[in-house]
Structure 1
Amino acid sequence: MKINVRYFAQVREKLGPGEALDWPEGAAEVPATVGELRQWLIGRSPAHAQALDAALPLRAACNQLMCSAQEPLPDGAEIAFFPPVTGG
């Protein structure tokens, strides 16, 4: 399964613009939802753990549509993580 992850705002400042992830067919630890992907990414490095901490109120989008942590993770998806945004 292949997933493109994009980061925005302070998450981008800590992790860069994003990363491409690729799990081989039949891999045991493939995330099934956006929330599981976030948890998987938190385990990648201390920088990921800090930027994506579960206590942070980050939003997510799957293929440019806002989604919840329970959103199924389709092969080839673009997942974005970013803080809540306010307008003025």
Structure 2
Amino acid sequence: MITVHYFAGIREMTGTHKEDFDCAGVTVGQLKERLIQKYPQMQGNSLQFAVNEEYALQTDILSEGDAVALIPPVSGG
């Protein structure tokens, strides 16, 4: 299982702060596609993904037990 953690506006879209997916062996990009299918309102958002507290590329492969965080765009001032 992979645990996906949601923050800020993404948490509001999903209605939860985390959920588990059975998707070990898929890429971060493939997980993103699954999430967009489940939550179409994520489409078009500039999401960053972190796997085990490190920024991840869309081509990175997920492993059993990974923790994935979806990080929404952040603006500063």
Normalised by the length of structure 2, the TM-score is 0.83
Residue 31 of structure 1: how far off its partner (Å): 6.0
The AA in structure 2 aligned to 1:49 is: P
**2:60 matched to which residue of 1?**
71
CA contact (8 A) 1:31 1:37 kept: no
CA–CA distance in structure 1, aligned partners of residues 22 and 37 of structure 2: 16
Residue equivalent to 2:26: 32
TM-score (norm 1): 0.74
User: Which residue number in structure 2 is paired with residue 27 of structure 1?
Assistant: none
Which structure is richer in relative contact order (CA contacts within 8 A, separation 6 or more)?
A: 2
Q: CA RMSD in A?
A: 1.7
Q: Across the two proteins, how many residue pairs are aligned to each other?
A: 76
Q: Output the amino acid matched with 1:32.
A: V
Runs of 5+ consecutive residues of structure 1 not aligned to the other structure: 24-29
| Max Rg structure | 1
Give secondary structure in 2 for the equivalent of 1:76. Answer: coil
1:4-83 alignment, distance < 5 Å:
4-15=3-14, 16-22=16-22, 32-44=26-38, 48-50=39-41, 52-53=42-43, 55-83=44-72
Report the alpha carbon displacement of residue 56 of structure 1 after superposing the two structures with TM: 1.2
Runs of 4+ in 1 over 4 A off after TM superposition: none
List gaps (5 residues or longer) in structure 2: none
Distance 1:39 1:32, change over 3 A: same
Whole-Å Cα distance in 1 between the matches of residues 28 and 46 of structure 2? 14
